[in-house]
A and B are shown apart, each in its own frame.
Chain A
């Protein structure tokens, strides 16, 4: 079906492979070996911020980082990239497999070759991982649900703009939100809109739903990067983009924590967002990759950076904190959305 993107990816892969065979970036020879890193995609604001942090933090932590590859949201490309990286002598791999099932055999191969893997943002279903670095996506859904439920006083109608159902993070957010609404706020009706992370679909679906149910009082967006602007545009057109103290105000909760969401919170256009820590993802992915190369091991339990390591059947997971940002703490300097230019 998606012939275009596939061919695009193939062409890009050829370019990436060609680049990859050139000499890696200057290394200062520290650490025990090179770290290979694959980025999952190039078309989302969140991942672009993450990709910007990676070289910066690699410098700080003195990680010997190889030139990054990009798998364009395609697991077959990820597999090829990982092969290329190990072929070039990577001693540890940082990846973010968006398809958590199909990566299993690659992880098996890497385990046999004794190359530790740090998985960012997603938790592979099978295959050994040294450490999973992610915020708990279920917590996003629950936090959004609790915030909306309390703001609406446990009743009314809510539109949920969902991400792609084929992505584990989209599913986790949707499931947690659904469960929380059902158990804690049974008086709230939720309309689930499958937007596939597309702004165009989100705008059409929200517009249609508001036409059908003019009394919708809350919106939960799975990704501020794609859903924020279309939502604001539709609300504006309907005359519903009003300050929080106006009775017509629609309570909007977002996920991601990009600077534009913070701006909208300051203006009172949306009410809250869950900040997905792009900087911490990059920092701890590299931290654990370096530790892995140096042969360190970790145990389940609390860490020194406000998170908890939990035991998985196939490895460990460091669950990074993902704070709820509202008008009260939107100017907090520690939020990554306030640090990017």
Chain B
């Protein structure tokens, strides 16, 4: 069929980029650039960073210089290397946390929404109870329960990720459950019931794909929240030990006392890294959300004005 678009142009982010115009496109592009920067840094961290993230130097609190690009901390870590390494840690935590919470959240949401009854009621109450907890407190409790203070890289990452997972499962659960309940009343699900399809078949074949369309959007929004939670945990001292991996929240915590002494470089760089990463992911998620909704999506004016718009973009 000639109307069928190429696979590339139907991929999530790319298809939205094609649809966007004006300010929305600007936001999306900024989000994509920042997120790509984050991903590249995470992937190439060992190549970019001049030293290891856990390597200590004798010069403590040294100002930025050619040896230590962004200076060193009170503990003798190289700030540049730790900020770069922090991206890698953050990325792994996001992937593990979001993967776990999507997996559990989607399954529970489908079962709860489609089967209903007592299972639904119990799961909703549990999800609401988790919601009612302050997320950071919950994450702290989970982190203490899981890691009991000691840590190497992977157990640190996993305990941080699982603490975040617990907080996020209810979000995915709710979204999928609400979608499932809506879809349950759709004629195509009823027509599957009338045909005699089993509940498992209906959930797997008819509801699952339709209910998970919004997940990429929640994913990007949650990823930024996961970074904040991870940084929060690290800042409060429940995160990953500095001797095992670089982590922005921990560095930020230890930069507190430096700031009053005029040592700005230990706090600014990890702080800016958190801000840019969260901003990038939020911009990406929000603008994809807007572009996916035809009512929120801006469109070109027909005919002449479209050309003017395009020109403005080129000029910008």
A and B physically associate? no
